């Protein structure tokens, strides 16, 4: 997950623990750290890009990654605070697989994270770059 917001990281980790989901979720602060991450950890099966960092635009990260044949096949999800229609369209045009607006409460966040991982781990087909384990 490309994300710098510590609160979002903590909430995500707590909710994954609450719902007993044991999958390897790694957080990378920005795109500059992504190449180093890939070298050490290998290619992820799914990339979530949080729009919480003001020094980059998630759409630009998707475009950059999708233009690289090594990453173009990986599903990419944009997670944003707001969802203006034009930005959603721009996100999909850039190659995002999904666009998600962050919920306003912890309970809604838990439901959305649970639904998100249920879809991506139990319904969608992901490349087998990383192992996926569920309880």
What is the DSSP track for 54-96?
TTS-HHHHHHHHHTSTTTTTS-EEEEES---HHHHHHHHHHT-
Cα distance between the two ends of the chain: 21
pLDDT at 33: 81
Contacts of 29 (CB under 8 A, 6+ apart): 2, 3, 4, 53
Res. 130: pLDDT tops 80: no
* pLDDT tier at 131, thresholds 50, 70, 90: very low
pLDDT at 26: 80
44-101 pLDDT tens trace: 888 888 887 666 788 998 999 999 888 888 899 998 888 899 999 999 999 999 999 9
Helix (H, G, I), strand (E, B) or coil at 21: coil
Domains within the chain, CATH numbers bracketed: 6-123 (3.40.50.2300)
pTM of the model: 0.80
């Amino acid at each position: 997950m490309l994300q710098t917001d510590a609160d979002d990281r903590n909430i995500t980790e707590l909710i994954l623990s609450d719902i007993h989901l044991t999958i390897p979720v790694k957080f990378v602060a920005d795109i500059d750290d992504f190449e180093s991450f890939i070298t050490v950890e290998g290619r992820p099966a799914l990339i979530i890009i949080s729009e919480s960092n003001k020094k980059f635009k998630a759409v630009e990260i998707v475009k950059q990654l999708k233009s690289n044949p090594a990453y173009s096949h990986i599903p990419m999800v944009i997670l944003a605070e707001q969802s203006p229609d034009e930005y959603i369209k721009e996100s999909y045009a850039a190659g995002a697989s999904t666009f998600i607006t962050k919920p306003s409460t912890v309970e809604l966040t838990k439901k959305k994270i649970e639904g998100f991982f249920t879809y991506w781990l139990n319904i969608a087909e992901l490349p087998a770059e990383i192992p996926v384990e569920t309880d």
